[in-house]
């Protein structure tokens, strides 16, 4: 995030009584004019977010499904994964126009 302070976390809004942790999701580059917006899904709940990064509050004691896609006229460039409790809570979404996207 270029030495910037991460944004405040977006709260986890589903029912969950256990401990929580913070997921930092970085976007590799801003969207081109052809695309609309980044949409992040956390356990199926969509959030429209902005570049360069976003922080989500997520459960610390169970797997969480994270997905990202791009809205707009072009292909949706979707990527998703299941983030396990032992996984490092930092991900990067990389978008490569015409060939797809990754979430690592």
Q: Note the pLDDT tens digit of each residue in 17-58.
A: 899 999 999 998 777 766 678 999 999 999 999 889 999 999
Task: Say if residues 33 and 68 touch (Cβ distance below 8 Å).
Answer: no
The DSSP bridge partners found for residue 102 are: 94
pLDDT score of 1 more than 50:
no
**pLDDT tens figures, 55-103:** 999 999 999 999 999 887 566 688 999 999 999 999 999 977 667 778 8
CA pair distance 15, 6, nearest whole angstrom: 25
pLDDT score of 3 more than 70:
no
């Amino acid at each position: 995030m270029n030495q910037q302070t991460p944004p405040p976390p977006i709260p986890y809004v589903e029912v969950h009584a256990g401990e929580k942790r913070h997921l930092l999701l970085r976007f590799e580059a801003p969207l081109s004019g052809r695309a609309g917006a980044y949409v992040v899904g956390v356990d199926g709940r969509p959030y429209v977010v902005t570049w360069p990064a976003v922080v989500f509050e997520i459960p610390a004691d169970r797997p969480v499904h994270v997905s990202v896609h791009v809205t707009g006229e072009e292909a949706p460039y979707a990527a998703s994964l299941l983030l396990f409790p032992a996984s490092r809570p930092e991900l990067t979404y990389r978008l490569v126009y015409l060939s797809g996207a990754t979430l690592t």
